[in-house]
Amino acid sequence: MAGEEALRARREKLLGRNMSLFYEDPVHLVKGEGVWLWDADGKKYLDCYNNVPHVGHCHPRVVEAICRQASTLNTHTRYLHEGILDYVERLTATFDESLDTAILTCTGSEANDVALRMAQAVTGKTGVIATDFTYHGNTTAVSQLSTRMPPVGGYGGHVRHVPAPDAYRPLGGEGGAAFAAAWAAKVEEAIASLQESPFGFSALIIDPFFANEGFPDLPENFLVPAVAAVRRAGGLVICDEVQPGFGRTGTHMWGHQKAGIAPDVVTLGKPMGNGHPVGGVVANSETLNAFRKAFRYFNTFGGNPVSCAAALAVLDVLEDEKLQANALDVGAYARQGLQNLAEKHALIGNVRGSGLFFGAELVLDRAEKTPASDIATRVINGMRERGVLMGKLGIHQNATKIRPPMPFSKDNADLMLSTLDDVLGGL
Amino acid sequence: MAGEEALRARREKLLGRNMSLFYEDPVHLVKGEGVWLWDADGKKYLDCYNNVPHVGHCHPRVVEAICRQASTLNTHTRYLHEGILDYVERLTATFDESLDTAILTCTGSEANDVALRMAQAVTGKTGVIATDFTYHGNTTAVSQLSTRMPPVGGYGGHVRHVPAPDAYRPLGGEGGAAFAAAWAAKVEEAIASLQESPFGFSALIIDPFFANEGFPDLPENFLVPAVAAVRRAGGLVICDEVQPGFGRTGTHMWGHQKAGIAPDVVTLGKPMGNGHPVGGVVANSETLNAFRKAFRYFNTFGGNPVSCAAALAVLDVLEDEKLQANALDVGAYARQGLQNLAEKHALIGNVRGSGLFFGAELVLDRAEKTPASDIATRVINGMRERGVLMGKLGIHQNATKIRPPMPFSKDNADLMLSTLDDVLGGL
């Protein structure tokens, strides 16, 4: 404890104030393996939060790939190297045929920053539509998509926000088609507004799983009418797959495949290199060539042989350990466990998600669906005290965010569920 | 050769057209060690170009640090971890006392994207001054500083360009003070123009060594009057140390120290992790806290334990192998060698640089100083054919860019010089 106080003081001195830290009692981690993390006192935590170590913390095959390539060659892409070609070939093979080329970056933020410019290059326009509770990254341009804090100098005026879809409180009523039509109408309004502006309409950017918005269980083909509206207006659909990608939802490799839509541009980040800084943009070759013609873009570290080796190892492990199937199986089991807890704890208003991205929305009142945001904070802190790490998110910040490394097992789910039962019981 | 053709075809198919590649006959690299690179046919190249593998390609201590940490723990900074603190402490100890905190990113582009916002947070203004031949990175916001290609939607109107200082053809005449005053007057004009605009004046961003502009040998204290003008106007000075930093210039750890100025914000990139994707922004704590208050910023991979381990190993090797002193010593020796070649080859108009960033400006005519840009292209291709990798840069794209890994020796310099003698003799 004294050690942690000293660490926090050093942190504020060296990294500044207001640098975010999880939990009332922050965790001082020293070791990770699979779905487990250890703190400096040797206490073990079940990691139900981190999607970055996608195939498990410190997976030996990813570590081995990094070490092997880092000790052989690490350089930029202005020389020829097979690493990036082998990786992009493997990666694009997991997409529809139309998504056949890629640009590699170092972060998902950089990927979205490029994706927005791809849409500009294709359309000659700069207006963008995003949801009002989304997050696509931290660059100056990408931050303009967020509504959380107006930037110095103000917003650029080229972004229109549509309401984040909330299947628990659906726009347009309960019917799937009415909800989808109501949301598509919001997108159409935003398109019209941009078309009347000096910016014009270039793209709709969404996480097709709406992870930050609270991962709503949307009706089948919910996005289809909105995507059709975008296409009619000559805009591009950018799918940010930083969260649902790489098989996390269990049913599909990519969130947009699950949603039944075919985007023009797909962006990748966090889980791609199991923690090694790598991101990317996948598009059809015409879109990518239009970008490369309209903008000069070179990324020194992007696509370096070590990053590609790490990313390729992630694909290998995903396949060999059948982790997408595991996500489907364990995710369904864990959601059923949450449903069972809902019978006991009235606080659980809605259980939802897919594969290994799921959780419960906590409400004060099931009829009114009043968000229990403060209680959600107490719950995740209580879980942390009992050795289970998870987060919260969503429009009302009242949904537990359970998004563990992909080798998460039914035993792990049982531990998480029994701990949650304890914490909810002790509130 | 057939293999290379196939690689290039795969590359265009998977990575798109117009992705830059060095040399008429691109190099297919497979291995690196120290200052050496090997291609797929086993041919060995002396690397006189790459500053990213700062302490040498695949330095065993950096590789070991990466492997050790990657197999122990790799996570984000919302948990407590000593790695980032140890690194930032060591890093900031190399700066003046006023530069005492840091934000870690994954690339130099991300670092400059943050630095511009730091200046916005402190001043409440958004106007920026840069030189007309600079490059500070690839994000949408940072690309606005470049003059090379107007972006879709046009420039934001908030950037003013001053002429890149050219000591070989000095503004205001030959005298150091007159040149410095003339350049400062350009900066003052730009400040006035921004102050009259809706944007106001937030910062001057420069590489204090003006690497991309052709690394001019500037008179002592050249930047002092311009920096004073920025301060009088309430603006910040951002020094982009992506190229001159980490001891490369031999005389100082940082380019701004060499230039005799104290910036408000310093940005770091390429050499920081010897190729591992890591960048950073160093500032005083008030500036950093102002940024963290005005903007929400979190970088998932930024400051992760593996990146910090790699970056710390770079500082260790720099110190233990006395690489800054080596840069000073070998750089002076190699520049003298270029001067000797100038006696034989009239094409060499001006030899300049510092430490292990140096080169010769090639001219058709020494009196008129007519840039020999096309010949410079032939020279670097000729060097590549003979097994020495270098580049070209500068306002007229006629300066050889010699910027090798820091363990570059006098023997390596001799090989580069004799090869250059050959190539120039064979033109």
pLDDT in tens, B11-22: 999 999 988 899
Q: A-chain residues within 8 Å CB-CB of B116?
A: 140
Minimal-distance CA residue of chain A relative to B154: A126
pLDDT in tens, B355-370: 999 999 999 999 999 9
- pLDDT above 70: residue A2: no
| Predicted-assembly ipTM surpassing the 0.95 threshold | yes
pLDDT at A153 (0 to 100): 87
Separation in Å, CA of A123 to nearest CA in chain B: 9
The four Cα atoms B87, B88, B90, B96 give a dihedral, to 10 degrees, of: 160
pTM, entire model: 0.97
Beta-carbon separation of B85 and A7 below 8 A: yes
Beta-carbon separation of A29 and B58 below 8 A: no
- A420: helix, coil or strand? helix
Contact yes or no for B50/B40 (Cβ under 8 A): no
pLDDT at B176 (0 to 100): 80
In terms of Cα–Cα distance, which of A307, A312, A297 is closest to B301? A307
Q: Which amino acid is at A300?
A: T
The residues near A305 (Cβ < 8 Å, ≥ 6 apart) are A69, A72, A73, A74, A75, A81, A83, A84
- pLDDT above 90: residue B310: yes
Beta-carbon separation of B103 and A66 below 8 A: no
B365, HSE (Cβ side, Cα atoms, 13 Å):
3
Minimal-distance CA residue of chain A relative to B110: A139
Q: Once rounded to an integer, what is the mean pLDDT over residues A415-425?
A: 98
Separation in Å, CA of B238 to nearest CA in chain A: 17
- pLDDT above 80: residue A1: no
In chain B the domains, ranked by start, together with CATH numbers, are 2-55+322-425 (3.90.1150.10), 61-320 (3.40.640.10)
Q: Once rounded to an integer, what is the mean pLDDT over residues A268-286?
A: 97
pLDDT in tens, B392-405: 998 999 999 999 99
**Which candidate from B80, B103, B306 shows the least CB-CB separation from A11?**
B80
Q: Once rounded to an integer, what is the mean pLDDT over residues A244-268?
A: 98
Instruction: List A36's β-bridge partners, or say none.
Output: A33, A46
Mutate to test the interface with A, among B19, B64, B69, B212 (most CBs of A within 10 A): B19
Helix (H) or strand (E) holding A160: strand A159-162
A205, HSE (Cβ side, Cα atoms, 13 Å):
33
Distance, CA of B287 to CA of A350 (rounded, Å): 44
Separation in Å, CA of B98 to nearest CA in chain A: 12
Beta-carbon separation of A296 and B148 below 8 A: yes
Phi, psi of B266 (to 5 degrees): -125, 135
Reading the block at residue B141, the tokens are 């916001």
- pLDDT above 90: residue B118: yes
Q: Which amino acid is at B175?
A: G
Instruction: Show the 3-state SS of B32-72.
Output: EEECEEEECCCCEEEECCCCCCCCCECCHHHHHHHHHHHCC
**Which candidate from A15, A60, A270 shows the least CB-CB separation from B101?**
A15
Beta-carbon separation of A109 and B299 below 8 A: yes
Separation in Å, CA of B286 to nearest CA in chain A: 8
Q: Once rounded to an integer, what is the mean pLDDT over residues A276-303?
A: 96
- pLDDT above 80: residue A83: yes
Distance, CA of B177 to CA of B12 (rounded, Å): 51
Phi, psi of A71 (to 5 degrees): -90, 0
- pLDDT above 80: residue A421: yes
DSSP string, A207-253: -TT-TTTT---PPTTTTHHHHHHHHHTT-EEEEE-TTTTTTTTSS-S
Beta-carbon separation of A295 and B79 below 8 A: no
- pLDDT above 80: residue A173: no
Mutate to test the interface with B, among A300, A392, A401 (most CBs of B within 10 A): A300
Q: How far apart are the first and last CA of chain A?
A: 25
**Which candidate from B29, B85, B278 shows the least CB-CB separation from A73?**
B29
The residues near A85 (Cβ < 8 Å, ≥ 6 apart) are B7, B10, B11, B14, B15
Q: B-chain residues within 8 Å CB-CB of A146?
A: 296
Contact yes or no for B338/B413 (Cβ under 8 A): no
Q: A-chain residues within 8 Å CB-CB of B10?
A: 85, 89
Contact yes or no for A118/A265 (Cβ under 8 A): yes
Q: A-chain residues within 8 Å CB-CB of B285?
A: 13, 16
Helix (H) or strand (E) holding A63: helix A60-70
pLDDT at A171 (0 to 100): 79
Q: What percent of chain B stands above pLDDT 70?
A: 99
pLDDT in tens, B49-63: 999 999 999 999 999
Q: Once rounded to an integer, what is the mean pLDDT over residues B135-151?
A: 93
pLDDT in tens, B214-265: 999 999 999 999 999 999 999 999 999 999 999 999 999 999 999 999 999 9
Separation in Å, CA of B33 to nearest CA in chain A: 8
**What's the whole-number average pLDDT of chain B?**
96
Separation in Å, CA of B223 to nearest CA in chain A: 28
Minimal-distance CA residue of chain B relative to A11: B85
pLDDT at A128 (0 to 100): 98
Distance, CA of B205 to CA of A26 (rounded, Å): 37
Contact yes or no for A52/A246 (Cβ under 8 A): no
B223, HSE (Cβ side, Cα atoms, 13 Å):
27
Contact yes or no for A62/A274 (Cβ under 8 A): yes
Beta-carbon separation of A78 and B139 below 8 A: no
pLDDT at B2 (0 to 100): 63
For chain B, helix, strand, coil in percent to 5 are: 40, 20, 40
**Which candidate from A19, A74, A141 shows the least CB-CB separation from B140?**
A141
- Residue B271 CB: number of other CB atoms within 10 A? 29
In terms of Cα–Cα distance, which of B240, B259, B270 is closest to B55? B270
- Residue A364 CB: number of other CB atoms within 10 A? 16
Beta-carbon separation of A76 and B52 below 8 A: yes
pLDDT at B55 (0 to 100): 98
Helix (H) or strand (E) holding A66: helix A60-70
Beta-carbon separation of A299 and B107 below 8 A: yes
- A38: helix, coil or strand? strand
**What's the whole-number average pLDDT of chain A?**
96
Identify the band that residue B1 occupies on the pLDDT scale cut at 50, 70 and 90. Answer: low
pLDDT in tens, A119-152: 999 999 999 999 999 999 999 999 999 988 889 9
Reading the block at residue B143, the tokens are 């690309």
Identify the band that residue B174 occupies on the pLDDT scale cut at 50, 70 and 90. Answer: low
Separation in Å, CA of A367 to nearest CA in chain B: 35
